Amino acid sequence: MIQLEEISKAYGGQQLFRGLTWRIPDGERIGLVGPNGAGKTTLCRLLAGVEAPDGGRISRPRDATIGYLPQEVAGARAGSVLAEALSGFDALWRVEREMEDVAAALAAAPAGPAAEALTARYGDLQHRFEAAGGYRLETEAKAILGGLGFRPADFARPLAELSGGWRMRAALARLLLLRPSLLLLDEPTNHLDLESLEWLEGFLAGYAGTVVIVAHDRYFLNRMVTSIAEVGPGGVSVYAGDYDDYLVERAARRALLEAQAKNQAKRVAEIERFITRFRYQATKARQVQSRIKMLERMERVELGPEARQIRFAFPEPPRTGRRVATLRGVHKAYGDNVVYAGVDFEVERGERVALVGPNGAGKSTLLRLLAGVLPLDRGERTLGAHVAVHYYAQHQLDALTPTRTVLEELEAVAPALGQTRLRTLLGAFLLSGDAVDKRIAVLSGGERARVALAKMLVRPAALLCLDEPTNHLDLASREVLEEALAAFPGTIVLISHDRYFINRIATSVVAVARGGLTRHLGTYDDYLAAETRAGAGPPPAAAGPGRPRGADRRAPGGPPARRRARAPAGPAAATPARARRATPEVRELRRRLEEVERQIHALEQRLAEIGRALGDPALYTDGARARAATAERKRAEEQVAWLLREWEALSEALAAHE
């Protein structure tokens, strides 16, 4: 267990934490939530030891290992993608290098005591290397990288070639391979596509350590966490269950506090009336003093302020014809990379379309073509009558002018509204006072997102093209955006990796893959169910960084990131020669395969027990037990799904070695 006791932390005179206490039980998967600026990232940095508290104490077990994934990964380190994933095992690679040195010395040594000593040393090193998992690490690293969207051709690519989002994936792969006892993930979903996100869920479902996740993805939190820790002015409040359970329990706690505060206020008023009435009567002096002391000793119920929330509604768009926007025979390429060759796409009045597919499939390109912010190489784009378009860019600096102030940014698109009305509008997005005079370049991601949303409200538009609109918004702001979009009577085409958001807004899903489009009616869950019924299996592997799916992407030349330790040749090396035939790796694969099969069998037995319990009506007389059983079944099913994928990967690896 990790404990934070009486923690205080301030930045530039602003007190973030005072007297914060929090205990993190072993093996929990905790969702860390709270409004932007509440201190979630700071708390992760304190736990990771990146920052120190101003006061208080953090107690960690001596054998604790901690892995921390920040929101933004620092500049690229030297080396390849695979080398980055394997970079957390320096001590093990030193053993490997010594094995190679001993093997080389043994190959040159004549038979005799010196060769025997070298052989014994090699055997000891080989045992240490095998016991620490050295023979399986590269296989595991490649499996994790593949799950996070890298293709085999990407493993040897230099990190310096990758975008920040793909470097973040490589850093995440490194942490997952290390398997620390405490894993801290700050917004891990921000740079993952839906397929990689679902893979990560499967991995974390079977994770043996403690996981603390900062995420604004409600669907992800509901699937992953066993408890919620809310960061607020009063410290950290813990709620059992997933995010939906947290919302229910938080509302219940708030209602109880409000009732207690109301009753207490009534009681205080009665006491104060008594004191006022009898303060100057000598016969009541003792009673008056008693009540004064009663008020002084009374522990007041503190409700605490509710966090401020953005509030807005999209303006009513003009009435349009049935066809809102159409792409016909559209071609688009970036150099030799052909993204679309003759694609057709049409949206009609009132449709709410979600574009889904792996990173690199062409979703953002299609949205930008539809919005008219990217020129067509060939083909035709047609807008219906009275159709104006609002485009929300995934990367806000693409759509905002960094040198302008917040107020100037809105004045540029709506000069006729005047500063008073624009300031009122910005106030609804929590941008008021001096904040409206800040330059766009210095705003946080959340502030830029709010400015971009505010720009969409100054004039009506019938078609909203939204590329990852929930990025940088906290959960409360996402819910306000969901409500505004749900009430919008116009047409929406959106891209999002937030499945809860897609399910809430979309009425159809268009799958983008290999330059083609496939339309499915219904929500994202309906789309997945249809794919399963059709026997399509899992979605195709995500395209690697910066490359389209299906393109010719041979890996650049160069040595592999990690070479296997080679046994020496020659008659004096009988024991190391057997190691050269890779029998330790095969033996390790077999052992892990048997262990996975054992875990699957145990989980299936447990699922059968839970199923019998859930079939007993008596269970439902205790709501807490019923919820716990349901949650355990969900976790067990997720673990089985993950283990089955692991079993398949191990079976393939074993077949390749035998």
pLDDT digit string (tens) for 315-346? 899 989 999 999 999 999 999 889 999 999 99
- Which residues touch 323 (CB under 8 Å, ≥6 apart)? 346, 348, 349, 382, 384
Q: What average pLDDT does the structure give for the chain?
A: 83
Two structure tokens written together for 638: 């997720």
pLDDT at residue 575, as a whole number: 38
| Calpha distance 194→140 (Å, rounded) | 22
pLDDT digit string (tens) for 96-154? 888 888 888 888 888 888 888 888 888 888 888 777 777 788 888 899 999 999 989 89
| Calpha distance 367→529 (Å, rounded) | 25
Mean pLDDT of 350-374: 93
pLDDT at residue 214, as a whole number: 94
Strand partners, 405: 439
| Calpha distance 283→319 (Å, rounded) | 78
Q: Which long-range contacts (CB under 8 A, 24 or more apart) does 636-641 make?
A: 636/603, 636/606, 636/607, 636/610, 637/607, 638/201, 638/202, 638/205, 638/206, 638/223, 639/205, 639/206, 639/599, 639/603, 640/600, 640/603, 640/604, 640/607, 641/202, 641/205
pLDDT digit string (tens) for 255-291? 888 888 888 889 899 999 999 998 888 888 888 898 8
Q: Is the pLDDT of residue 91 over 60?
A: yes
Q: How confident is the model at residue 619 (pLDDT cuts 50, 70, 90)?
A: low
As a whole-number percent, the residues of the chain with pLDDT over 90 amount to 39
Mean pLDDT of 337-361: 92
Q: Is the pLDDT of residue 84 over 80?
A: yes
Mean pLDDT of 228-246: 91
Q: How confident is the model at residue 567 (pLDDT cuts 50, 70, 90)?
A: very low
pLDDT at residue 36, as a whole number: 79
As a whole-number percent, the residues of the chain with pLDDT over 70 amount to 88
Q: Is the pLDDT of residue 554 over 70?
A: no
Mean pLDDT of 217-236: 91
pLDDT digit string (tens) for 140-197? 889 999 999 998 989 999 988 888 888 999 999 999 999 999 999 999 988 888 889 9
pLDDT at residue 557, as a whole number: 30
For the chain, give every domain's residue range: 1-65+180-241, 254-297, 323-533, 581-657
| Calpha distance 382→385 (Å, rounded) | 10
Range in 93-107, 222-236, 511-525 with the lowest mean pLDDT: 93-107
End-to-end CA distance of the chain: 43
| 1-65+180-241 shares its CATH topology with 581-657 | no
Mean pLDDT of 441-446: 82
Greatest extent of the chain over all pairs of C-alpha atoms, in Å: 112
Range in 176-180, 500-504, 522-526, 534-538 with the lowest mean pLDDT: 534-538
pLDDT digit string (tens) for 2-42? 999 999 999 877 888 999 999 999 999 999 998 877 889 99
What's the fold here for domain 1-65+180-241? Rossmann fold (3.40.50)
Of the CA atoms within 13 Å of residue 359, those in its CB half-sphere come to 23
Q: Is the pLDDT of residue 509 over 70?
A: yes
| Calpha distance 493→502 (Å, rounded) | 11
pLDDT at residue 541, as a whole number: 40
Pick the CATH number of 581-657 from 1.20.120, 2.30.30, 1.10.287, 3.40.50: 1.10.287
Q: Is the pLDDT of residue 198 over 60?
A: yes
| Calpha distance 32→147 (Å, rounded) | 24
Mean pLDDT of 384-408: 87
Mean pLDDT of 517-542: 73
Domain covering 323-533 in this structure, CATH number? 3.40.50.300
Q: Is the pLDDT of residue 229 over 50?
A: yes
> In this structure, which amino acid lies at residue 14?
Q
Q: Is the pLDDT of residue 71 over 60?
A: yes
Helix (H), strand (E), coil (C) string for 489-548: CCEEEEECCCHHHHHHHCCEEEEEECCEEEEEECCHHHHHHHHHHCCCCCCCCCCCCCCC
Strand (E) or helix (H) holding 332 = strand 323-334
- Which residues touch 273 (CB under 8 Å, ≥6 apart)? none
Q: Is the pLDDT of residue 515 over 70?
A: yes
| Calpha distance 203→603 (Å, rounded) | 16
Two structure tokens written together for 227: 């408890």
Q: Is the pLDDT of residue 454 over 90?
A: no
